[in-house]
A and B are shown apart, each in its own frame.
Chain A
Amino acid sequence: MNFMNTPVADAGAINELLARYGVKFGIYKNGTFKEQLFPFDAIPRVITAKDFSAMEKGLVQRVDALNLFLQDIYADDKIIKDGVIPEDFVYISKGYLAPCEGIKPPKGIYSHISGIDLVQAKDGEWYILEDNLRIPSGASYPLIARELCRMASPYTFENSHIVDNRNYAALLRGVMDYVNCGGINVILTPGRYNAAYFEHSYFAEKTGSVLVQNTDLFVEDNILYMKDYQGGKTRVGAVYRRISDEYLDPMTFLPESLIGVPHIMDAYRAGNVAIINAPGNGVADDKGIYYFVPKMIKYYLGEEPVLKNAPTYLPFYEEDRKYVLDNLETLVVKDVSEAGGYGVVFGRDMTKEQLADWRKLITEQSRRFIAQEVIDFIDLPITDNGDTVMRKADLRAFVLSGDKTRVWASGLTRFSRVADSFVVNSSQGGGFKDTWVLSQD
């Protein structure tokens, strides 16, 4: 059966269900918070069992290496001492947090939930575009979408051999329980007006965690507690925090943070609470560090990388800088400190003046940028006003690390709604589709 152009059901029915179930994301435009539906396309992305098997191996390998890298960087720095990664790329990274030096997180896991962005080239090869090891979001959308698709079109799933992906919350709960240091699991949200609030509340419901804000938590004698409305307190053993590192603890990081929990880092340092994902992970998903991940895999695991990086150049290195300046017209340049599709520019879209400006900027701030070959990744069919059109799409795979490292047999396929655009981010108008992993080819 050719699934590629087969909608699950009419998109209208599923979008109606998504609206009814409050599947939205928030966005700030001109200083005003708005919630909007995440546009869903009913034609699924299909990944064959063979492709997924290879991808799974590559993702487990990559995330295991990244976890070993984090363990190393905040302890012994062997990879630097052995000359595999220059220290410049580690210690000047915005994601490197000196206060995390010497802290061993519960069970030694740093990246519990890793969101790895991939694209498939037209020759079928999958390339890693980006690692997200801080607070990767998005798993809730395909999770609830599958549930609603099965509701709207049960027969589609009857004989299609599609792996049931509705185990994500159980996998997440398993990770939380595994690293829990004694006490309840909570999900720490910055609040109702966060872009991913739907996801925070949905995962709290599905994992049986308590959804909390910072004012619900306090630290006493290096132990984290949740206070209830009657003045009681309950020990917290694991915090799936959905706020950024710098806002997590005003006593350790940004003192002006109003959404953090004072002294939570003390409780964490004392080994009394697990923080999911560990603070300081940004050093490993820095776009500059990305270049070195294949080297990490060889260094820590003694294996050849299963999945390839997109061909990447670091203007920091003279040779690479020369190549980038000479070939800027054909490359995509990324600001290493930006995320969400921001700070990404394509040389082919620049005027002569802009190219000259960018060459100057790259020369002056060579550590700030990476440049990559533009991968001509495959277009996927989407339905647009009743017509089927082809649009660029990527895949965020979710890898969960607990008692072992597991890849969720699904993922978030995001697509651009603009013809020829490579920008698929929801914050910039992209949509999403269900991702089917087949159990047999």
Chain B
Amino acid sequence: MGAITRLNINNLFWLGRYVERVFTTLNSFFKYADRFIEGGQAAYEKYLADINVPDIYKSSEVFFDRYVFDLNDENSIISNLDRALGNGIVLRDEIKTPSLSYLQLAMDRFKACKGTTKIRYDMLPVRDAIYAFWGSVDNNMTNLEALRIIHLGKSVERLDLYLRLGYPIEDIFVQLDNLLKHVYRRFDTISSIINLDNLEALKNAASSRADLKALCAELLDNVDNLVEVNFVEAVAV
């Protein structure tokens, strides 16, 4: 296992988060775009509220363009892809050139889609590139600790977004299990911070969406604290 520098650790975690944020918000946006086909005024306001993005768009048309393609809009999907790419560029030696090339490819294809009238179709190569990125890091990375940290970021982001975007309980359970698995692997001292037995029991007992959201919120808060202590403060030293 190679040593990971303190500067890289934060980049690894956020690389995982941003790539996942692009992927899941893009999928979610596609659902919105699908509802838009029949001309109905899709409730983009609710979508924004769910993911905690302020409504600066004021109309579906502006939302459709800026939220997806505007690099100057810090909440847009493309600006999250830009951040993913920025983290990837400083991690070339860890994630390897082919993995980075898939992020660049995703960005190039993404930009080429601006102005499209068939966004779900034209954006397929973007999703393909992101799938390829994940395949590439799994195949090419030799530093397994670094790989786990990227996956931890991905898992945290996915669970967070699934909760916000109202994904089915079954999907959230799957993501919760995934996150626990990554947390177990990453943090040896987890049991001293989170009572996992209690968490498992709570998970099994969670019968309503509200219970589950509360449970996941507790876990995400605890992971955030762990990340803050282990990654962010480490970098700040």
Contacts from A to B (Cβ < 8 Å): 19-22, 184, 192, 197, 201-202, 204-205, 209-213, 215-216, 226-232, 234
B6 to chain A: closest residue by CB: A229
Query: In the assembled complex, how far is the CB of residue A27 from the closest CB belonging to chain B, in whole angstroms?
Result: 16
Chain B interface helix/strand/loop/mixed: helix
In this assembly, does B51 line the interface, its C-beta being within 8 Å of a C-beta of chain A? no
Contacts from B to A (Cβ < 8 Å): 2-9, 89-90, 92-93, 96-97, 100-101, 104-105, 108, 230-231, 234-235
Query: In the assembled complex, how far is the CB of residue B143 from the closest CB belonging to chain A, in whole angstroms?
Result: 10
Point out the residues of chain A lying under 8 angstroms from B4, CB to CB. 228-229
Contact A205 B96 (CB under 8 A): yes
Inter-chain pairs besides A205-B92, A205-B96, A228-B6, 6 sampled, C-beta below 8 Å: A21-B104, A202-B92, A227-B6, A229-B6, A229-B235, A230-B234
Point out the residues of chain A lying under 8 angstroms from B6, CB to CB. 215-216, 227-229
Query: In the assembled complex, how far is the CB of residue B185 from the closest CB belonging to chain A, in whole angstroms?
Result: 15
A24 to chain B: closest residue by CB: B89
**CA distance in complex: A276, B53 (Å):** 49
Contact B5 A201 (CB under 8 A): no
Point out the residues of chain B lying under 8 angstroms from A184, CB to CB. 3
Contact A201 B7 (CB under 8 A): no
**CA distance in complex: A197, B234 (Å):** 24
Given B92, B108, B235, which contacts A201 in the complex, CB threshold below 8 Å?
A: B92
Given B3, B8, B101, B231, which contacts A21 in the complex, CB threshold below 8 Å?
A: B101
Contact B3 A20 (CB under 8 A): no
Contact A202 B97 (CB under 8 A): yes
Contact B7 A205 (CB under 8 A): no
Chain A interface helix/strand/loop/mixed: mixed
Point out the residues of chain B lying under 8 angstroms from A202, CB to CB. 92, 97
Contact B3 A204 (CB under 8 A): no
Contact A209 B93 (CB under 8 A): yes
A227 to chain B: closest residue by CB: B6
Given B90, B97, B230, which contacts A205 in the complex, CB threshold below 8 Å?
A: B97
Query: In the assembled complex, how far is the CB of residue A202 from the closest CB belonging to chain B, in whole angstroms?
Result: 7
**CA distance in complex: A216, B9 (Å):** 12
Point out the residues of chain B lying under 8 angstroms from A197, CB to CB. 89
Query: In the assembled complex, how far is the CB of residue B189 from the closest CB belonging to chain A, in whole angstroms?
Result: 12
Minimum-distance CB pairs A-B, first 5: A204-B93, A201-B92, A229-B9, A216-B5, A229-B6
Contact B89 A22 (CB under 8 A): yes
Residue among B4, B89, B97, B100 with most chain A CB within 10 A: B97
Q: Given that A22-B104, A228-B3 are known contacts, is A210 also in contact with B93, CB under 8 Å in the complex?
A: yes
**CA distance in complex: A19, B8 (Å):** 24
Point out the residues of chain B lying under 8 angstroms from A227, CB to CB. 5-6
Query: In the assembled complex, how far is the CB of residue A100 from the closest CB belonging to chain B, in whole angstroms?
Result: 28
**CA distance in complex: A166, B158 (Å):** 40
Contact B93 A226 (CB under 8 A): no
Query: In the assembled complex, how far is the CB of residue A233 from the closest CB belonging to chain B, in whole angstroms?
Result: 9
Contact B97 A213 (CB under 8 A): no
Query: In the assembled complex, how far is the CB of residue B6 from the closest CB belonging to chain A, in whole angstroms?
Result: 4
**CA distance in complex: A22, B97 (Å):** 8
A144 to chain B: closest residue by CB: B97
Point out the residues of chain A lying under 8 angstroms from B100, CB to CB. 21-22
Point out the residues of chain B lying under 8 angstroms from A19, CB to CB. 104, 108
Point out the residues of chain B lying under 8 angstroms from A192, CB to CB. 89-90
Point out the residues of chain A lying under 8 angstroms from B234, CB to CB. 229-231
**CA distance in complex: A20, B97 (Å):** 10
A234 to chain B: closest residue by CB: B3
**CA distance in complex: A181, B119 (Å):** 56
Point out the residues of chain B lying under 8 angstroms from A226, CB to CB. 3, 5
Point out the residues of chain A lying under 8 angstroms from B104, CB to CB. 19-22
Point out the residues of chain B lying under 8 angstroms from A232, CB to CB. 3
**CA distance in complex: A234, B3 (Å):** 8
Q: Given that A184-B3, A215-B6 are known contacts, is A201 also in contact with B231, CB under 8 Å in the complex?
A: no
Point out the residues of chain A lying under 8 angstroms from B105, CB to CB. 20
Query: In the assembled complex, how far is the CB of residue A336 from the closest CB belonging to chain B, in whole angstroms?
Result: 35
Query: In the assembled complex, how far is the CB of residue A248 from the closest CB belonging to chain B, in whole angstroms?
Result: 19
